[in-house]
Amino acid sequence: MKQLSMRNYGLLALAALVGSLLVVSVAFAAVTPKPKLSFFKGGGATIGWTTVGGSGPHDTTGNIDSIQIDTLTSGVSFAGAYTWGKDEAANSIVGRSLAEVQRLGFDSKGYLGAGAPRISLITHDTNTNFDHTFFLAASYCNAGADPSAWVTSDFINDADCVIWGPNGANAGWSTVVANFPNDVVTDWFLIVDEAPATTYVDSLTVQDFGWVRSGANGIVKCQVNLGCTN
């Protein structure tokens, strides 16, 4: 009976240990989710992951995927990507002041228009109670670049990027931060709304995560600047 009791005690202790590990594992998963990227489209446009355009220079995962966006009719077609709900919360850019945003950008090729591809960043001024929209377009980081080759738009760290906001043109992210010290991020989305055009986007990077291909394995944790790693 004594041996049986000791054995039962050991089993109970092991079960308790496994249970505690499961709780820790679940808790860890809860605070480090991978935010899913969602797509939207209209006016006959298409969007999706494809291998046609290959991968951009900041995708070091070894895959050959990128987002392909086809817009057909000027003034009608549009398509893009965003996070929402729990995925937006996991990404953690929403609620940050502009000074706290550390990574925002993408690699692109195929089309380099006046205002697309771009990230539209929506903010709220906690002092004036006004909402603002900032337009972060690839062409204003890559003036004169060849659109048939990959170009990088690192809106936070590239001082040559011109960012358009409610006050007009801002020379670099530091100028945006200085001009709008009370703004906090409320939303963001990638969009191509110029046509006709075929655009490829890779290493779409928003604060703590980047997207380099479809599925959970294509969601990568960002470490420095525009670069990301699993």
pTM higher than 0.75: yes
Domain boundaries of the chain, sorted by first residue? 1-31, 33-229
Confidence band of 81 (pLDDT split at 50, 70, 90): very high
Under 8 Å between Cβ of 43 and 78: yes
pLDDT attached to residue 72: 96
In terms of pLDDT, which residue wins out, 81 or 16?
A: 81
- 33: which residues sit within 8 A by CB, 6+ positions away? 86, 87, 90
pLDDT in tens, 92-148: 899 999 999 999 999 999 999 999 999 999 999 999 999 999 999 999 999 999 999
Q: What pLDDT does 51 receive?
A: 98
Q: What percent of the chain has pLDDT over 90?
A: 76
Q: What is the pLDDT of residue 230?
A: 60
- Angle, CA of 65, 73 and 144, to the nearest 5°: 60
What would be the CATH architecture of the domain defined by 33-229?
Answer: Sandwich (2.60)
Q: What is the pLDDT of residue 12?
A: 40
In sequence order, which residues have a C-beta less than 8 Å from that of residue 124 and are 6 or more positions away?
130, 131, 132, 183, 184, 186
Given a cut of 90, is residue 44 above it in pLDDT? yes
Side-chain half-sphere exposure of 26, counting CA atoms within 13 A: 6
Task: For 169-206, write each residue's pLDDT tens digit.
Answer: 999 999 999 999 999 999 999 999 999 999 999 999 99
